[in-house]
Each structure stands twice: as structure tokens, then as C-alpha cells.
Structure 1
Amino acid sequence: MAVRNKWNKRWLDTIGTVENQVEGSMSHPEIAFFNLSTILAATNSFSPANKLGQGGFGVVYKGKLSNGKEVAVKRLSKDSGQGIDEFKNEVLLIAKLQHQNLVKLIGCCIQGEEPMLVYEYMPNKSLDSFLFNETRRSILDWRKRFDIIVGIARGILYIHQDSRLKIIHRDLKTSNILLDEEMNPKISDFGLARIFKGDQTHEKTNRIVGTFGYMSPEYVVFGKFSTKSDVFSFGIILLEIITGKRNNSFYQEDFYPSMIGKFPDFSGKPPEI
């Protein structure tokens, strides 16, 4: 009970901050604040049939608003590895970003005990659901894989250099690359992202967050991260797109801890797709 009350108090203290910062700092794009009743109606009360996936944040559901627009609702779980800080960070951060290779945040819901983020719906889900599926990977021919690589690179360039803010994502991975109806890639999940100011080039932290296999060595060992950290993660994604294999799958196959522990020998022959 004490833990539950602590969560509730912290969340109630945060609601006003989120509303004021989001509404007070932005005129475009406008972030909508949805009522809980609207979210429940859109997702059929979070029906298991509408479940799209699950990650460190919580569960993602497909929904349809009263105007017919399809959305994806990301629901923060109190039992997740992330919390209110990550939720607030994502709302305040991604709301300020606009790029064709970034998932668009439509709004959020801050009623009740479980805050939620409402995104544009991506019908083809995540890149990993194609790359590592024996049946679906055939859809990704070399032309499409190249286009996906270029799209991801454009999104990273935008958050690192071309947007108003210099942002380090810190959790780039194939499951955070979503695909729209035309298989265009869009970077998602900015809960762990950090903003760099002015001419800042790097930062150090004692709290290592992210996904092993995609994190750069200097970040894992020393807690140092920069734009180079995201570039390293992009390199792993690039290898996974080319090979069609998970970075950490090589442990079982070749007794190496990861793909970069032993770079696969293509012998001039592309992987079967």
C-alpha cells in the first residue's frame, strides 16, 4: 500500500508539470489531452484483441477514435522498468520534433493511475517483426532494405543535427523502428532520450539504460554517451538489416557473444531473404 500511495502522489505532482510545460511551450504541433473514457472507447477497454505489443514501457494497443482515425496507445505500467520521468520526457521531447522518419505523437492521457501516450498507428508494426520472421522477411528485398536504412539515417541526422534540439536517443534498435503502410521507417520510443545543449558533445551517467547488444562499449563500461552512441546502435541495426540475424543470436550459433564479436563471412554471397 505504501508503494502504491508513493506512486500516486508522485504522479499527481507530475500532472500539472506535464500540462503546463507541454501546453505552455508549444503552439505547433498541438498535443491533445485525451480523457480516459475516450481511450477506453477507442481500445474497447484495452481488449486483448487490440494488443499490438509489449516493451519496457508497458503494453501498446490499437485504437480507433470517434472520428475514425486509427491510433496506437502506449500504456505505462507501474511494474515496468520505466516510469513517470520517462513518460514526461517523451511527451515534452517528441512533441517538439517533426520529421517523416519519426513517429508522430498525437497526444496523451494523464487521467487515472496509468499515463498513456497516443501515437499515429503504424500498420506494419516494427522492423524486427519482418527481419527475424522466416515468412515475412521475404517482403524486404534489397531495394526496400536500402530505403529503410536511408530513412533511419535521415531520422538520426535530424535529431542529432537538423532539429531545434540536439537529441541522443539512447535506445535505437530494430524493435523501435516502426513501419508505415508503405514500409517507410519511423523512429519511436524517446523515453530514454537526452537533450544536449549548445556545443555539448558528450555526457556521463551512472544509470546505464538501453538494450544490451545495441549499446556502445564506452557507454556500457564508462557511462559516456554522445551522438556516437546512436551511430553505434545504427551500425548494429545496419548489420541486422543486411544479415537478417539478431546481433545476439550468434552466441548460440558460433559461440560468440554477438555479431560484432565475429563478423559473419558473406563470401560474396548475400543472405537468403
Structure 2
Amino acid sequence: MAMFSPILLLFPSLFLILITQTTAQPKFLYQFCKNDTGNYTANSTFKANLNTLLSNLTSNTEIDYGFYNSSYGQDSDKAYAIGLCRGDVKPDDCRSCLNDTIVLLPEVCPNQKEAMAGYDNCMLRYSNRSLYGILETRPSFKQWNVANATDQDRFNQALRDLFESLSSRAASGSFLRKYAAGNATGPNFQTIFALVQCTPDLSELECNDCLVGTFSDLAGSNIEGKRGGRIIKPSCNFRYENSRFFGR
């Protein structure tokens, strides 16, 4: 029995190492691995093109507006990608967030040709089809504060007024950035902070339509009447809270 004890003692240490490595891996706020646009194999041309595309996506350090769009390859093996950072995120932080996503997303979605994931500060999408200039509202991610707003009718009206103001500003933004953030006073002197954003490849009308549809999704959802919440879609996103969560 004694001759086996050193081997048995190795297992707890190995187990602890594996747990540490697993828990240290960053977790996405949301992720979608799509199966309906096809899969790829590890040695495929598409996989090689995707690797090249992603490894160079943020290489242009002159981009300081938080939107990256590129493609690589030919015909059915061509890979497309879009990276978007929240409008208040600084360029270096933007690239850092996207680079983390670039590393992790193919691991989380190991053979899907189309995937989307993100954190608070950035979102990455890639596919075997063109993504640029196409309004897309599915899939969507929803998250909400568990606390209810007080005087919900007045709160909802203040939120709607703020949303409409921000949406108008964001939709009329340039082809570099369609983003707006601000605050309003709700009932009982509650301050409501909110932001809206579209991928800047959308037209003003498309951005507005995406945001209006996103806000309408609040009705009847778990977010309605809450002190904070967010909805993230491929082409636009909306978030509000009772405390400030954006830089500018």
C-alpha cells in the first residue's frame, strides 16, 4: 500500500491546478453559437481564413471610433467579422476587449461558422456570410435588475422620453459611430442613466428601426418595471440603470 501513496497524493494537487485554470478563463456576458449557417473542421480552409481574419481584425491602431469590419478569403471559404466597442470606451481598452473575445469565442464555439459574443465593453461577430450593412435583430440577449422601480408609470414615461432623445441622437450619428448616452430625472428624484448604440454601418432609418424595436421588447418582458436592464442585438443595443455605468 505504501508504494501507491505518492501517486494518490498527486491527484488533489492536479485537481486544484485544473480548477484554477478553468475558473481563470474569462466569461462572456453573452454568447451565441449558430448551427444553421454551417460548421467547419479544424483543418479546413475556412478555419484558416477565420484565424487570419481574427488575428488581424484590430491591427489598425488608427481606428479610434470602436468599429472594426473586415473579411478574408474567397468564395464559400470567405470569413467575415465585425467588432464593436461601446461608444465611451477608449481605443486601447476597446482593442484589448476585442482581442480577448477573439481568443475565446472560437474556443467557446469550436466549429460553428457563425458566432457572436461580448462583454460590457465590446461585441464580436463572425460568419461565412457578409455582415456589413445588414440590419439584424436576432439573436438577442436580455438582462435586468431584480429591483422594481417605484411609481412605475412615471418611471416608464421618463425612460421612454430619455430613450427617444438618445435614439434620435444615435441614429443621426456618422458612419463611424452611432452612440448616445445621457440621463433623466424619474419619479421621487430617481436618476435614470441610459445608452443606445447601433453598428455604424446602418443607415439612420435602420438604426432608428432597430432601437425602436428593441425598446418595444421591454413591454411584457422581465425587464419592464425594473430599475435597470439591457437588450443586446447584433445591430443595436440599449441599456439603462439607476446608477451611472458609462464614461461619457
TM-score, with length taken from structure 2: 0.32
Point out which structure has higher relative CO (alpha carbons under 8 A, 6+ apart).
2
The structure whose residues are more often strand, as a share, is 2
Specify the structure having the higher radius of gyration (Cα).
2
TM-score, with length taken from structure 1: 0.30
